[in-house]
């Protein structure tokens, strides 16, 4: 039966069936062969509806909408200009500036794709123009974009919270310090990699001017984060505030919210949104039939009944996630694996909040691992002359850093958890 699902998914994906429909078709096949034939199809609409019947999911389309608005308005460009004036005299200064922008956008949006698109489309041409090695830049942007889901707000954390019942607020807090540390480590590495490029420092006047222009972009994360932590709105509602503020900036500050731009914004939002939500539906259908057939439960029992060290199991979990991450989209991985992994992790005595952060870093790896890596596709989309192979080569050192970071977090779980106690 496991062979049926694994082989079935592999073949459907290879045939070129879109991921969402491959998952759903496999679920339907599973229902037909193992759960009473066409009779079981009556559950298809019930489970499809249930997959999206969750208020915390409403933030997802809104984050997609916000990234499209920011992309069309000039907010991203201005922020990048500011960062480059502050950092360009350091070795590999623009690399540092790019990662700074990634962190800022990560703090606004909940998705890595949004972060990579927004920063990538500004930084990629600029850095190549100034003589940065293209492969390094592609790797830096693909990896920097993934910070979007580690630095809160974060869609994977929202999904983790809604599947497991852990507090989404706590999950967000837990992501802050690891997010900042990973950003800094990325900065140090990128700066070292491109250390031969140093530009003349900008004057203080130039820096101040650029900061003033970029003020609206800088305000956005402050409003969103400030609103969440002062309790004015919930993490789910924050997405709506983000959209309204970016719309206002685009309409009144940049004055480029014309009909053509609005149409672009709406249609790209609809496409991306339907793509993501349909994957959730497909994954839920597949998860349903696998649960009915007790596949996750059997694996859970097997893993928890083993008389081996919890850390060995933990390592096995990470390897499994890495492999899944190569082939599947992050939301599907979370939705399919969490019902299995969460009970194991709790039973083994690990902190579920800490594990959420481990899980998110694994999802970051999934975003940059071929053959299915959304951030790889994003960078390919920005400039069609880039090859996936080139992007992958550029991103490998960052993947190594992330794996080492998982090791570090395992030795010092406090990196993720200490702030939660502080905040309370």
Partner 1 sequence: MKALYRIADQVINIGAYLAGFFIILTTFMIFYEIVSREFFNQPTIWVTEFSIYAIIGSCFLGSAYAVRTYSHITVDLLINNVNDQIKTVLAYLSNALGLVFSIIFTFYGFHHVMKTMELGITSASLLRIPMYIPEALLPIGGVLLCIAFIMQIIDGGVHKGGEHL
Partner 2 sequence: NTSNTAKNQESNASGSSDGYEKTTIRLAYNLPQDHHISKGIEQFAKDVTEKSNGAVNVQVYPAGQLLSDKDMNQSILTGGVEMGVNSATLWASTVPAMGIFDVPYVFTNYEKAGEAINGEFGDKLRVAMEEKGAKVLLFADYGFAQFANNKRPLKSPEDFKGLKIRSIGDIPSEMIKAYGASPVFMGGGEVYMALQRNTVDGATSGTTAMLQRKYDEVAKYLTINNYSYLEFLLAVNLDFWNRLPEKTQALLTEEAKETEEWIRQQAQAEDERTAKQLEEKGMEVYVVPEEDISVWKEAAKPAWDAFHKTGGDLGKELLKMVDKE
Helix (H) or strand (E) holding 54: none
Among candidates 399, 391, 402, which has minimal Cα distance to 133?
391
Q: Which of 8, 44, 206, 322 binds partner 1 (CB under 8 A)?
A: 44
Q: Of 307 and 421, which CB lies nearer to partner 2 in the complex structure?
A: 421
If one asks whether residue 175 binds Na ion (CB under 5 A), the answer comes out as no
Q: Residue 373 touches which of Na ion, partner 1, partner 2, none (CB < 5 to 8 A by kind)?
A: Na ion
Closer residue to partner 1 (CB): 68 or 417: 68
Specify the length of the chain in residues.
424
Torsion from C-alpha of 314, 315, 320, 323, nearest 10 degrees:
150
CA 202, 208, 214, 218 dihedral sign is positive
The burial of 408, by beta-carbon neighbours within 10 Å (0-12 exposed, 13-18 middle, 19 or more buried), is given as middle
The footprint of Na ion on residues 373-402 (CB under 5 A) is 373
Q: How far apart are CA 424 and CA 417, in angstroms?
A: 12
- Residue among 3, 200, 230, 349 that touches partner 2 (CB under 8 A): 230
Per-residue burial over 313-352, b if 16 or more Cβ lie within 10 Å, else e, is: bbeebbebbbebbebbbbbbbbbbbbbbbbbbbeebebbb
**42 binds partner 1 per the rule CB under 8 A:** yes
Residue 46 or 404: the one with the smaller Cβ distance to partner 1 is 46
Residue among 106 and 331 whose Cβ is closer to Na ion: 106
**Residue 407 burial (10 A CB sphere; 0-12, 13-18, 19+):** exposed
106 is an interface residue for Na ion by CB under 5 A: yes
Q: Shortest approach of partner 1 to residue 8 CB, angstroms?
A: 11
Cα 26 from Cα 13, distance rounded (Å): 10
Interface residue with Na ion among 92, 148, 221, 413 (CB under 5 A) is 148
Q: Is 366 in the site for Na ion (CB under 5 A)?
A: yes
342: which residues sit within 8 A by CB, 6+ positions away?
163, 164, 352, 355
Stretch that binds partner 1, among 54-62, 148-156, 168-176, 410-418 (CB under 8 A): 54-62
Position among 5, 13, 109, 152 found at the interface with partner 1 (CB under 8 A): 13
Site size for Na ion (CB under 5 A): 10
The CA distance from 410 to 406, in Å, is: 6
322 interacts with, out of partner 1, partner 2, Na ion, none, CB within 5 to 8 A per kind: none
- Is 386 a binding residue for partner 1 by CB under 8 A? The answer is no
Look at residue 249 and give the partner it binds from partner 1, Na ion, partner 2, none, a contact being a CB closer than 5 to 8 Å depending on partner kind: none
Taking CB under 8 A as the criterion, the residue among 9, 12, 24, 47 binding partner 2 is 47
Q: Which does 56 bind (CB under 5 to 8 A by kind): Na ion, partner 2, partner 1, none?
A: partner 2
Please check whether residue 201 is in contact with residue 89, taking contact to mean a CB–CB distance below 8 angstroms. yes
Q: Residue 422: exposed, middle, or buried by beta-carbon count in 10 A (0-12, 13-18, 19+)?
A: exposed
Residues that bind partner 2 (CB under 8 A): 36-37, 39-40, 42-43, 46-47, 49-50, 53-56, 161-162, 165-170, 228-236, 288, 291-292, 294, 296-297, 339, 424
């Amino acid at each position: 039966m496991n062979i049926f699902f694994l082989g079935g998914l592999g073949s459907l994906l290879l045939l070129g069936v879109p991921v969402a429909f491959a998952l759903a078709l496999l679920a339907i096949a599973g229902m037909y062969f193992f759960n009473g034939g066409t009779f079981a199809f009556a559950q298809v609409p019930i489970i499809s509806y249930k997959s999206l019947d969750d208020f915390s999911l409403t933030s997802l389309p809104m984050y997609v909408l916000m990234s499209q608005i920011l992309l069309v308005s000039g907010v991203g460009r201005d922020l990048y200009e500011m960062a480059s004036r502050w950092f360009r005299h350091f070795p590999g200064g623009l690399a540092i500036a790019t990662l700074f922008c990634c962190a800022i956008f990560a703090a606004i949006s909940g998705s890595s794709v949004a972060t990579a698109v927004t920063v990538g489309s500004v930084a990629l041409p600029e850095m190549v123009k100034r003589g940065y090695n293209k492969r390094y830049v592609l790797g830096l942007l693909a990896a920097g974009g993934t910070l979007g889901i580690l630095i809160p707000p974060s869609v994977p954390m929202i999904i983790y919270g809604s599947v497991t019942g852990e507090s989404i607020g706590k999950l967000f807090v837990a992501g802050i310090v690891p997010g900042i540390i990973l950003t800094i480590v990325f900065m140090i590495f990128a700066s070292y990699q491109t250390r031969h490029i140093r530009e003349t420092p900008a004057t203080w006047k130039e820096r101040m001017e650029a900061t003033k222009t970029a003020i609206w972009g800088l305000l956005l994360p402050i409003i969103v984060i400030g609103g969440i932590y002062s309790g004015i709105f919930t993490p789910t509602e924050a997405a709506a505030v983000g959209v309204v503020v970016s719309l206002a900036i685009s309409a009144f500050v940049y004055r480029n919210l014309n009909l053509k731009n609005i149409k672009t914004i709406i249609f790209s939002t609809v496409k991306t949104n339907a793509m993501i939500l349909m994957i959730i539906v497909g994954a839920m259908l597949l998860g349903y039939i696998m649960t009915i057939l007790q596949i996750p439960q059997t694996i859970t029992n097997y893993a928890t009944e083993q008389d081996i060290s919890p850390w060995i199991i933990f390592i096995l979990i990470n390897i499994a996630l890495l492999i899944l991450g190569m082939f599947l989209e992050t939301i599907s991985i979370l939705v399919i694996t969490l019902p299995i992994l969460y009970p194991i992790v709790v039973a083994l005595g690990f902190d579920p909040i800490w594990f959420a952060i481990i899980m998110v870093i694994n999802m970051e790896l999934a975003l940059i691992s071929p053959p299915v890596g959304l951030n790889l596709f994003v960078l390919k989309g920005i400039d069609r002359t880039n090859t996936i192979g080139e992007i992958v080569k550029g991103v490998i050192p960052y993947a190594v850093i992330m794996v080492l970071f998982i090791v570090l977090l395992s030795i010092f779980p406090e990196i993720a958890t200490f702030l939660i106690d502080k905040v309370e």
